[in-house]
Amino acid sequence: MRLRLRSPRQLARQLIAAARRDHTVVADYLDANREEWEALASASPSDAADIIEQLPEEDAAELLSELEPPDAAEVLEEIAPELAAELIEQLPLANLAAALDEMPSEAAADLIGELDEEITDDVFAAMSDDAEEEVRDLLLYPPDSAGGLMTTEIAALPLGVTTGEATERIRQLHDEYEDLSYVYVTDESDVLHGVISFRDLVFSRPGAPLADVMIGDPVAVNALADREEVAELAQRYHLLGVPVIDAAGKLLGMVTSDAVIEAIQDEATEDFAAAVGAGVAETVYTDVGTSFRVRVPWLTLNLALALVVAFAIEQQTGIISDEPVLAALMPVIALLGGNGGNQSLAVMIRSLASDDVPDTQVTAILGRQTGVGALSGGALGVLAGLIALALTSTGTFESSSEPVQVALVTGMAAFIVLVIGTLAGSAIPVVLRKLGLDPALAASIFVTLLTDLIGFGGFLLLAGWFL
């Protein structure tokens, strides 16, 4: 493989494109050009991570092992923790420990939290004492809590200093801390008293007491608070970082803006997974046994609910025998209702996740969604009726009833199932929230049950009345 461009970013783009066509060629190229690989990883860790993700685990682990610990640490930070855990298990223990020592403690905790328990003790034993202690402290918190998201590498100043003294101390801490968006102010017991932006600190009078410049009683979150609460506070108050405290008000760390964005993304994907009955913590790297245990209970429930639909259809087999055309039209009606319900479900879950559905507005929101369902049902009902009329009139679908009657039943069923499906998609998450459950908890399964009952059983019931 020949590469004419030699800037790290241009090289990375060519390698990523080539890896998608044939990863073997890229692995061989990097193996033969280690200096280019090391320069690329040092200059652009995110691009190096993209290349790593395109390669087989064995080749990727070999390339990581060739990097200096600081560079390996930065590349690993850019890889999804689940995949990074798969890779680092293949690294020599010394290389792995050295890379973890160089990583921010919260990133190292995320990686170690994904490792198999049998090798975790060996990894800790190989790490430096200080890094091990910091990571162990973070692992005490649930991964989806503020404590699990926070970084302990924050700038904090004592309450009694002046702004001039504070500025000088920040200059000394500049090389130690990457994020100086906020500087926190604590007392001798490390209790949080205030926060000041680095910009305000620089432009304040040098002799002014820090207490006069800081914002007192800052927005903070308990270490055990759920990440959803952290994201809500960051969005509500437009924060670049959220300080984390314990029950006594002691400053423990900060959830950075990057971690907040990641938390919002994870919460959204969890809601989507929960809505269809998949494991909220499951990824494509989850082992087969765990995925099986998480999914099977919901699939079993789905089977039980499907039997309810089957029973409803079985009670109407007589009308199907008399009018075989109904067997062809039933799935159309059920599919319309399912799609309409899931559209409404997606909108409602997204609104609930962003806390945009206060109890006082529930009735109005459900009414609005019912109106959407009625308009959609009216339009699709007319269209479905016309299609049924055309198919039965031309003999494409055989029917012993008048084509107009079949069209009428089809149109009415489409209207009803869309109204009910749209309402159900909005109402079911609200009901689950009222019961103290996750609004996204397998909501799609219950919406599908209802729309299938109406789409199959209700359609046949209408047909029995009018045909």
Residue 21 predicted with pLDDT over 70: yes
130, 146, 133, 104: which is closest to 252 by C-alpha?
A: 146
Start-to-end CA distance of the chain, whole Å, equals: 70
Residue 126 predicted with pLDDT over 60: yes
> What's the rounded Cα separation, in Å, for the pair 90 and 288?
20
In this predicted model, which residue has the larger pLDDT, 73 or 174? Answer: 73
- Amino acid (one-letter) located at 312: A
Alpha helices in 226-287 (DSSP H): 227-237, 257-275
Residue 399 predicted with pLDDT over 80: no
CA distances 308 to 17, 101, 238, 247, 449, Å, are: 50, 57, 49, 50, 8
In this predicted model, which residue has the larger pLDDT, 116 or 335? Answer: 335
Q: What is the mean pLDDT of the chain?
A: 83
pLDDT at 278: 55
**According to the per-residue pLDDT averaged within each range, which of 4-13, 80-89, 312-321, 337-346 is highest?**
337-346
For the segment 25-35, the average pLDDT, to the nearest whole number, is 82
Digit-coded pLDDT (tens) for 303-327:
887 788 788 777 777 777 778 888 8
**According to the per-residue pLDDT averaged within each range, which of 66-80, 287-301, 429-443 is highest?**
66-80
Residue with tokens 């599908």: 448
For the segment 172-178, the average pLDDT, to the nearest whole number, is 67
Residue 449 CB partners (closer than 8 Å, separation 6+): 305, 306, 308, 309
Query: Which token pair is 54?
Result: 């395109």
For the segment 367-394, the average pLDDT, to the nearest whole number, is 90
> What's the rounded Cα separation, in Å, for the pair 137 and 116?
19
Query: Which token pair is 141?
Result: 């918190």
Query: Which token pair is 201?
Result: 């600190």
Residue 400 predicted with pLDDT over 90: no
Residues 222, 245: contact at Cβ < 8 Å?
Answer: yes
Digit-coded pLDDT (tens) for 322-360:
788 888 888 889 888 888 888 888 888 877 766 677 778
In this predicted model, which residue has the larger pLDDT, 397 or 282? Answer: 397
Please report the sign of the dihedral spanned by the C-alpha atoms of residue 138, residue 140, residue 144, residue 146: negative
Strand, helix or coil for residue 247? coil
Residues 409, 463: contact at Cβ < 8 Å?
Answer: yes
364, 370, 461: which is closest to 421 by C-alpha?
A: 370
| Number of alpha carbons in the 13 Å side-chain half-sphere of residue 22 | 5
pLDDT at 348: 84
Domains of the chain: 8-140 (1.25.60.10), 156-272 (3.10.580.10), 288-466 (1.10.357.20)
CA distances 75 to 17, 43, 127, 186, 304, Å, are: 19, 11, 18, 34, 47
> What's the rounded Cα separation, in Å, for the pair 332 and 407?
13
pTM for the model: 0.64
List, in sequence order, every residue forming a beta bridge with 156; answer none if it has no partner. Answer: 184
**According to the per-residue pLDDT averaged within each range, which of 98-107, 274-283, 302-311, 317-326 is highest?**
98-107
Residue 284 predicted with pLDDT over 70: no
Strand, helix or coil for residue 409? helix
Residue 244 predicted with pLDDT over 60: yes
pLDDT at 235: 83
Residues 160, 212: contact at Cβ < 8 Å?
Answer: no
Strand, helix or coil for residue 151? strand
223, 283, 281: which is closest to 255 by C-alpha?
A: 223
Percent over 70 (pLDDT), the chain? 90
- Is residue 68 exposed (0-12), middle (13-18) or buried (19+ Cβ within 10 Å)? middle
Q: How many residues does the chain have?
A: 467
CA distances 360 to 133, 357, 424, Å, are: 48, 8, 19
